[in-house]
């Protein structure tokens, strides 16, 4: 885990073929997300309380932003 005086570097990786995205903290894998809410929950479980994962400077979105979940959108529509 990052030292308290350091800013953690969380990366949400580009979507996999199934649309899921890996979430890492430095070299540590934190989990797999299928929705932006999953990213917030993964960070909470890692004791990183980020109030807005979509706009936070602590979260780097690679291969698309927080709205990019190709192949998974049909699972989250009402």
Over residues 18-70, the pLDDT tens digits come to 999 999 999 999 999 999 999 999 999 999 988 899 999 999 999 999 999 98
Alpha-carbon dihedral 55, 61, 66, 68, rounded to 10 degrees: 160
Work out the pLDDT band at 72, boundaries 50, 70, 90: low
What is the C-alpha to C-alpha distance for residues 6 and 17, in angstroms, rounded to an integer? 33
| Its pTM surpasses 0.75 | yes
């Amino acid at each position: 885990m990052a030292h308290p005086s350091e800013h953690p570097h969380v990366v949400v990786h580009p979507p996999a073929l199934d649309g899921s995205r890996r979430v890492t903290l430095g070299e540590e894998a934190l989990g797999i997300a299928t929705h932006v809410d999953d990213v917030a929950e993964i960070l909470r479980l890692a004791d990183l309380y980020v109030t807005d994962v979509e706009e936070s400077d602590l979260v780097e979105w690679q291969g698309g932003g927080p709205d990019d979940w190709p192949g998974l959108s049909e699972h989250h529509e009402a």
